[in-house]
């Protein structure tokens, strides 16, 4: 009998995280859903069960909590079948820097959730993957890691940081047959983008984005930018050393 994938996703209560969970549910996966909003997690759990997940467990988790993140990883590793196949560090926020407020709280929150949230999610699963000599680690960065969007320096910096973590972890973990895929989405429909009042170029539907992301993870892509239209734009801007300040 074919073994079911075991997938852990943070930020699974909405947007990209919930869409990824529902796509994996269609494959009959065993899924761990983590986020802070319990009611939303319960709804996604029930959707995943309806769509065919083998088992779904929810974790009420703030990804900035190191201790709790380790406990959750341990619990999920032992759930149903021993081990872990895919870990997706997706939780994130896009607060503006609040520079004029004189208070660094908001930018610090962005940096903490978006950077420490990734290390707290990924690192606790590494020993098990090393033992198995298999696994996929996935980091959700952003096209903002290639740009310099005004007022969102903390967000852009956090996404640069996690992309670089992915680049180094890929090299560190290659010998254990652990893949690291960094995904850099452009604009994808979600609670995060629903608040934007400007026209978002190449805005992509959430389910389609999740399907494409899963394909990229399955084909062990190193860095995956979507929608595709951003790839030439980013490549050209890097070639000419320009900062994309309007995106």
Ligand X SMILES: NC(=O)c1ccc[n+]([C@@H]2O[C@H](COP(=O)([O-])OP(=O)(O)OC[C@H]3O[C@@H](n4cnc5c(N)ncnc54)[C@H](OP(=O)(O)O)[C@@H]3O)[C@@H](O)[C@H]2O)c1
Which one from 24, 155, 187, 224 is the annotated catalytic residue?
155
Identify which of residues 2 and 39 has a Cβ nearer to ligand X in the complex.
Answer: 39
In sequence order, what are the beta bridge partners of 188? 204
Q: Are 226 and 187 in contact (CB under 8 A)?
A: no
Least CB distance from residue 158 to ligand X, whole Å? 8
Window 137-166: residues binding ligand X (CB under 6 A): 140, 142
Least CB distance from residue 21 to ligand X, whole Å? 10
Judged by CB under 6 A, which of 6, 15, 21, 230 binds ligand X?
A: 15
- Regarding 32 and contact with ligand X (CB under 6 A), the answer is no
- Regarding 90 and contact with ligand X (CB under 6 A), the answer is yes
What's the Cα-to-Cα distance from 74 to each of 69, 107, 126, rounded to whole Å? 9, 31, 11
* Residue 59 designated active-site: no
Identify which of residues 35 and 165 has a Cβ nearer to ligand X in the complex.
Answer: 35
- Regarding 193 and contact with ligand X (CB under 6 A), the answer is yes
- Regarding 187 and contact with ligand X (CB under 6 A), the answer is yes
Identify which of residues 126 and 188 has a Cβ nearer to ligand X in the complex.
Answer: 188
> Which residues are the active-site residues?
155
Q: Site residues (CB under 6 A) for ligand X?
A: 10-17, 35-37, 40, 61-64, 90-94, 113, 140, 142, 185, 187-188, 190-193
């Amino acid at each position: 009998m074919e073994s079911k994938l075991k997938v852990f996703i943070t930020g699974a209560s909405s947007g990209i995280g919930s869409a990824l969970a529902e796509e994996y549910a269609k494959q009959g996966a065993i899924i761990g859903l983590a986020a802070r909003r319990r009611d939303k997690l319960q709804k996604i759990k029930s959707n995943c069960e309806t769509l065919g997940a083998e088992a779904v467990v929810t974790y009420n988790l703030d990804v900035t909590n190191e201790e709790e993140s380790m406990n959750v990883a341990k619990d999920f590793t032992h759930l149903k079948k021993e081990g872990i196949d895919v870990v997706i560090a997706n939780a994130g926020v896009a607060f503006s820097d609040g520079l004029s407020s004189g208070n660094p709280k908001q930018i610090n929150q962005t940096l903490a959730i978006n950077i420490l949230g990734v290390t707290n999610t990924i690192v606790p699963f590494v020993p098990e993957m090393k033992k198995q000599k298999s696994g996929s680690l996935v980091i959700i960065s952003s096209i903002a890691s290639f740009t310099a969007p005004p007022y969102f320096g903390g967000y852009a910096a956090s996404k640069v940081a996690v992309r670089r973590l992915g680049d180094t972890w890929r090299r560190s973990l290659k010998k254990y047959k652990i893949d690291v895929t960094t995904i850099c989405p452009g604009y994808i429909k979600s609670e995060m983008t629903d608040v934007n009042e400007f026209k978002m170029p190449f805005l992509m539907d959430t389910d389609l984005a999740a399907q494409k992301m899963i394909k990229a993870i399955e084909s062990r892509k190193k860095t995956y930018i979507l929608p595709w239209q951003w790839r030439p734009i980013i490549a050209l801007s890097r070639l000419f050393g320009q900062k994309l300040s309007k995106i």
